[in-house]
């Protein structure tokens, strides 16, 4: 399997071969779905929180006498039957939504998502960024020369301050390190671009773990 290679100016230079173990793996939709659900669940924030009748700050004095008023018998005003009282079975911020997957399954899901994107011709490579200082305008010009996409995922081998800052203000661009690549970001992107040694770093990170 080969993908297009672009130089630092955005001109098509040729193509490069991909590792079959990563980019021609078996496409498993169920495994990819589980990996995406896990990532979304693990970044979920527990914000919604209700108080039980024991936590509501209110008097515990009996509202009115037990008999002779014609009303139903009423105890504390913190009951869940009254407005302002506690909530029965409401959401709590101590609920655990985290999910887990075995390491081999997570890696297989990543390879599956990359293979699916390559199969749909949504992956290409870029030699680098020609600027020596962060320039959002120059980065936008580079994007206009690359394959058109609604959003891009640029995969770097490591820290590249010029590239990261140049892309920081672009609304349709996300930059990630190869060692942190995951199925959610791969599948969410319309185009995946490996910059410089990004593919080599990906192989070093994930294929070495299999040995």
pLDDT digits (tens, 9 = 90+) for 64-90: 888 999 988 888 889 898 899 999 999
Each residue's pLDDT tens digit, 118-156: 999 999 999 999 899 999 999 999 999 999 999 999 999
Alpha-carbon distance 72 to 161, whole Å? Answer: 70
Look up the pTM and report it. 0.84
Residue 1: pLDDT band with limits 50, 70, 90: confident
- When pLDDT is averaged across residues 106-119 and rounded to a whole number, the result is 97
pLDDT in the model for residue 59: 85
Where do the structural domains in the chain lie, given as residue ranges?
Answer: 2-38+101-210, 45-96
Each residue's pLDDT tens digit, 159-178: 999 999 999 999 999 999 99
Nearest Cα to Cα of residue 130 among 155, 166, 157, 159? 166
**CATH superfamily name and code, 2-38+101-210:** Ribosomal protein L4/L1 (3.40.1370.10)
Each residue's pLDDT tens digit, 176-207: 999 999 999 999 999 999 998 999 999 999 99
Residue 4: pLDDT band with limits 50, 70, 90: very high
Q: How many CB atoms lie within 10 A of CB 202?
A: 23
Each residue's pLDDT tens digit, 29-67: 999 999 999 999 999 999 999 999 999 998 888 888 889
């Amino acid at each position: 399997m080969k993908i297009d290679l672009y130089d630092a100016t955005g001109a098509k230079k040729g193509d490069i071969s991909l590792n079959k173990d990563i980019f021609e793996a078996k496409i498993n939709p169920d495994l990819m779905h589980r990996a995406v659900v896990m990532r979304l669940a693990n970044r979920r924030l527990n914000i919604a929180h209700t108080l039980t009748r024991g936590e509501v700050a209110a008097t515990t004095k009996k509202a009115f006498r037990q008999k002779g008023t014609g009303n139903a018998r009423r105890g504390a005003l913190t009951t869940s039957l009254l407005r302002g009282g506690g909530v029965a079975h409401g959401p709590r911020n101590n609920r655990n939504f985290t999910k887990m997957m075995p390491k081999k399954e997570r890696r297989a899901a990543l390879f599956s998502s990359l293979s699916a994107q390559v199969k749909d011709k949504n992956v290409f490579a870029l030699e680098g960024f020609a600027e020596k200082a962060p320039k959002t305008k120059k980065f936008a010009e580079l994007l206009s020369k690359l394959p058109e996409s609604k959003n891009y995922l640029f995969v770097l081998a490591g820290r590249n301050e010029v590239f990261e800052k140049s892309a920081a203000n672009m609304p349709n661009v996300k930059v990630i390190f190869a060692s942190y690549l995951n199925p959610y970001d791969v599948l969410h992107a319309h185009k995946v671009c490996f910059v410089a040694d990004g593919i080599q770093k990906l192989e070093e990170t994930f294929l070495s773990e299999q040995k």
